[in-house]
Each structure stands twice: as C-alpha cells, then as structure tokens.
Amino acid sequence: MSEAPVIDINGLTKSFNGKVVVNNVDLTVARGEIVGFLGPNGSGKTTTIRMICGLLSADSGSGRCLGYDIRTQADLIKREVGYMTQRFSFYDDLTIRENLDFVARLYDLRPRRRYVDETLKRLGLADRQDQIAGTLSGGWKQRLALSACVMHEPKLLLLDEPTAGVDPKARREFWDEIHELAANGMTVLVSTHYMDEAERCHRIVYIAYGTVVARGTVDEVIEASGLHTIVVRGGDTAVLARKLKEADGVEQVAPFGNDLHVVGRDPAILERSVRAAITGTGGSAAEDVTSLEDVFIRLMADAPDNFQATAPERRSVS
C-alpha cells in the first residue's frame, strides 16, 4: 500500500476584500519530495503556504497536511512543520545560541542544551554561536533561520523565498543542506523566484494570479509549453530585437549577453521570421533548448489577472 501524501489539498480558495488571491488550488506532495512553488509577486504562493500549515483559514476547499485536517487540526500541524519566512524573524540583539535556545523553549525541547548543541554543530554554526545575530551577513542569517526551523525535527519544511538577497555561494550551500534533509525523509515545499533553484527541485508547481497553470518536473513543464527557441548571434542585436518583436510567430525576444533568445510556438514560422530578420546582417541563428524562464514568462502572459473584475477560470490540474 502506498504511503499517504504529506500534503494533499483540493480546491483551496482564499479571498481578501472580495478579490480571489488563491483560486481552487490542488496540490499533492509526497514524503521526501522537494517541490518548488513558483509564480510572480502576488500570485498567491505565500497565502497558499499559510493555509497549508494552518496559519490562515481557507474560504473553501479541503485538505490534509501530515495526516491532519488543515481546517480543524491546525494546532497539530504547526507542531510538526518548520516554516521559514523570507524576512529574518529572529532577535538581532541575541547571539546565535541565545536565539536557538529561545526557539527550543518555545517547542519545549528537552534536554534543551543538547538540541541546541546538535543544531549548532549540524548546521555549521558552532564556531559562531556567540556572535550577535544582527551582525551576521545575509547568508549566515539564513543559516540561523534554517537551523531554528529544523531544530524540532519537523516532518515538513515550508520555505517562503528563503534565499532572497543571499549570495550564490550561500545559496548553493543552503540547497545542499535542503537536499540532505530531504534525503533523510523531510518533505520540502519552497517558493522561489530563482530559475536555477527551481531546477534543483524534484518537481515544480507554477501558480499565476491564484491559479495553478503548470506542474511536473522541469523537463515536463518545458515540453508541455510547446515553446521553441532560436539563439541569434552577431549583427546589431538591438536593431534585430526591435525587428523580431514585430515578426510573425515570435512571442519573446530576450538579450543574453551578445546573443538574442527568440521564442515562439510554431518552429517553422519562427525559423522563417528569424532567417528573414538576420539576412544581410552578418548574424547567425541556431536552435537551442527553451529555458524555464521563457516558459514562465509565457505562462504569466497567458494567465488571467485575478484582480480583474472576472475571477480566473479554474484549470484542471492532475
């Protein structure tokens, strides 16, 4: 018999001031999965996460998190979830150890000192344990926040844009730790704007204006988009970009260094337009792999705005 999902929600809906911000969202996450929750600002990611862990009540819909009903057993869910917000939410005037000791008291962890010592060691904070939190760099604050979130050994880790403003090295180290936690059975749902982080997830779910519009592995989402990409090199890219934006079959034109990434749905029309544009310019063109960023821009453009007068139509999500 297969193990029950850690997160299993159906038709989750939430409105604020008459505006639908989460519209009939379905989401299933298995034990040990790292699922990326992506979407533009205001798309409903944070609201959905807060409903899953019991911090907000849904207007309609149902679901279970860690086997508990998200509507009636929120207090039980909170005990077994680690929730890391995008803003550093610990005490700047306390040391790293003092912050962790405070969190251990909140969860009534015993023996408290052992929990704090083991967490400091596991997350590489032991040598800095007496440093005041307010003097830490963004990367070390992030590590402290993660430590506090996992000290009580939660079964589910919810991360809301956890690496915003953190340098690439700290982000990579953070993700190495996340994969280590998942390998030991922890389930992770992480919202992010970074495409390279999305590609580190086992699966991704894209939400736009409150509605889930795509889900699957990165390769599955890219393939399902039906988009094709041609890279143009050489010539006056600024002039070519203006010309290509008006060409048949071209949906996106984006500069990448000295190249142009030209994206469209019909490969024949796209190639014809690109060839016509570069004729006589000295430029060259070649097919390339469509990026996740290209797909997400297309999904965002296709999605109806939930702050328009008409609520977005629900899309089927498997």
Domain ranges of the chain: 7-221, 226-302
CATH for the stretch 226-302: 3.30.70.100
Pairwise pLDDT comparison (306 vs 142), residue with the higher score: 142
Residue 195 has a pLDDT of: 87
For residue 38, which phi and psi values (nearest 5 degrees)? Answer: -115, 160
Angle between helices 237-245 and 267-278 (to 10 degrees): 140
Of residues 270, 237, 269, the one with CA closest to residue 254: 237
**Interstrand relation of 7-16 and 19-29 (parallel, antiparallel or unpaired):** antiparallel
Residue 315 has a pLDDT of: 40
What would the mean pLDDT of 244-273 be, rounded to a whole number? 95
What would the mean pLDDT of 85-98 be, rounded to a whole number? 91
Fold topology of 7-221 = Rossmann fold (3.40.50)
Q: How do residues 199-250 score in pLDDT, each as one tens digit?
A: 999 999 999 989 999 999 999 999 999 999 999 999 899 999 999 999 999 9
Cβ neighbour number for residue 174 with a 10 Å cutoff = 18
What would the mean pLDDT of 128-140 be, rounded to a whole number? 94
Residue 318 has a pLDDT of: 32
Res. 166 pLDDT band, cuts 50 70 90: confident
7-221 and 226-302 agree in CATH topology: no
Q: How do residues 297-312 score in pLDDT, each as one tens digit?
A: 888 887 766 555 444 4
What would the mean pLDDT of 264-274 be, rounded to a whole number? 97
**Interstrand relation of 156-160 and 187-192 (parallel, antiparallel or unpaired):** parallel
Residue 297 has a pLDDT of: 87
Torsion, Cα 206 224 171 89, to 10 degrees, reads 10
Res. 2 pLDDT band, cuts 50 70 90: low
